[in-house]
């Protein structure tokens, strides 16, 4: 069997439920964005230097001197934000349709999310701006809360006693390698999906199935067209909306920014971390907040798929997620710290209910 015949069997002739709509397009859009990130990342790496004395200025050089470097970098920066917007919507769709019943598909998707979080964090450090440097310092210091080995582990990651040249060099290597690993897992994820068939809005036992191509190929193409228009609008009108202004200043270990925060797609977890008074407790809650969906296939199964408790719990969960993201970008002052504790409790309660 040739590669072409293999893909024809897996994708073109894959049986898919006839009642799925455009919400199922976000999987294909994620593949497009991942390809954009890999391609633009390769071009940026041609001109980037992971030496701390040059990293910030090489970033400026890419934006000002490299032919269309500003455009490539804007694609890469905004592509990261769009990737997480799409992945959050994709997760929401999976939760609504109880997709964790496909255990292999669910776990491969969770693995993609965890590796994408790591990749995004490593990439956030590379411009070597003020927020990049201090976010790397704060986030990696979290590991020092681990008993006995925490301090040793942090120094091993840093390659020294602070975030410096070895740290940046390692993060650059990991940021370059992880997308290749993610691509492999994405391929496995797609393979499992098309062998089992997609979930649907009514039931997993759906006998009304049609070929993937041409019916859903056309839907995917329409989704890609709409996505392209939105992406170009962001690049033209609000290209730096997701970037903290402090990150346009070169990293300085002596001057600490007033507010240190990660990128917006990490703010919900950062808010949970800050809301716990105990350091080790905050680290545990941070870890659980990201990995809690791993246990979904092992929860007590609800026979009625669309019941009012699940639907309203899901709406409240996304509301809580949004509030935590908003508070994660605020200073640790009253009333944000007190409210964050309440919403952290709600986050864990509703993540189990849904």
Mind telling me the catalytic residues? 194, 198, 219-220, 263
The burial of 107, by beta-carbon neighbours within 10 Å (0-12 exposed, 13-18 middle, 19 or more buried), is given as middle
Percent helix, strand and coil across the chain, each to the nearest 5: 70, 0, 25
> Within 13 Å, how many C-alpha atoms sit on residue 78's CB side?
20
Report how far residue 190's alpha carbon sits from residue 181's, in angstroms, rounded to the nearest whole number: 14
Q: Which helix (H) or strand (E) holds 209?
A: strand 209-211
Strand partners, 331: none
Rounded-to-integer distance, Cα 115 and Cα 107, Å: 12
Query: CB-based burial of residue 75 (10 Å sphere; 0-12 exposed, 13-18 middle, 19+ buried)?
Result: buried
Q: Reduce the DSSP state of residue 261 to 3 states and report it.
A: coil
Query: d(Cα 133, Cα 19) in Å, to the nearest integer?
Result: 48
> How would DSSP label each residue in 193-208?
HHHH----SS-S----
Transcribe 162-179 into DSSP letters: SS-HHHHHHHHHHHHHHH
Q: What is the distance between the terminal CA atoms of the chain, rounded to a whole angstrom? A: 43
Within 13 A of 34's CA, how many CA atoms are on the CB side? 23
Residue 197 backbone zone (phi > 0: left; psi -120 to 50: alpha; other: beta): left
Q: For the chain, how big is the Rg over CA atoms in Å?
A: 21
Is residue 113 within 8 A of residue 292, CB to CB? The reply is no
CA distance 87 to 29: 9
């Amino acid at each position: 069997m040739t590669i072409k015949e293999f893909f024809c069997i897996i994708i073109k002739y894959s049986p898919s439920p006839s009642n799925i709509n455009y919400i199922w397009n976000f999987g294909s859009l994620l593949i497009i964005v991942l390809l954009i990130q890999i391609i633009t990342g390769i071009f940026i790496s041609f001109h980037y230097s992971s030496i701390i004395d040059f990293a910030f200025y090489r970033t400026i050089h890419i934006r000002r001197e490299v032919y269309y470097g500003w455009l490539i970098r804007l694609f890469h920066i905004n592509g990261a934000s769009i990737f997480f917007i799409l992945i959050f919507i994709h997760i929401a769709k999976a939760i609504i349709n109880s997709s964790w019943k496909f255990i292999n598909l669910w776990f491969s998707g969770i693995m993609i999310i965890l590796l994408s979080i790591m990749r995004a964090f490593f990439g956030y450090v590379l411009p070597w701006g003020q927020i990049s440097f201090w976010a790397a310092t704060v986030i990696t210091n979290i590991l020092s809360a681990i008993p006995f080995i925490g301090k040793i582990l942090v120094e091993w990651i840093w390659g020294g006693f602070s975030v410096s040249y070895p740290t940046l060099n390692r993060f650059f290597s990991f940021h370059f390698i992880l997308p290749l690993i993610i691509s492999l897992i994405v391929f496995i994820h797609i393979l499992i999906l098309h062998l089992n068939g997609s979930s649907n809005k009514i039931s997993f036992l759906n006998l009304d199935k049609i070929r993937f191509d041409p019916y859903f190929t056309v839907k995917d193409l329409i989704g890609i067209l709409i996505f392209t228009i939105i992406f170009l609008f962001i690049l033209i009108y609000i290209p730096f909306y997701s970037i903290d202004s402090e990150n346009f200043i070169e990293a300085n270990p002596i001057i600490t920014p007033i507010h240190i925060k990660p990128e917006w797609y990490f703010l919900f977890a950062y808010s949970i971390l800050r809301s716990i008074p105990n350091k080790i407790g905050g680290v545990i809650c941070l870890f659980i907040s990201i990995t809690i969906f791993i246990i979904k296939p092992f929860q007590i199964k609800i026979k009625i798929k669309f019941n009012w408790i699940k639907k309203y719990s899901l709406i409240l969960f996304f509301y809580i997620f949004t509030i935590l993201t908003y508070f994660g970008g605020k200073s640790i002052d009253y009333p944000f710290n007190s409210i964050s504790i309440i919403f952290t409790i709600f986050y864990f309660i509703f993540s189990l209910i849904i």
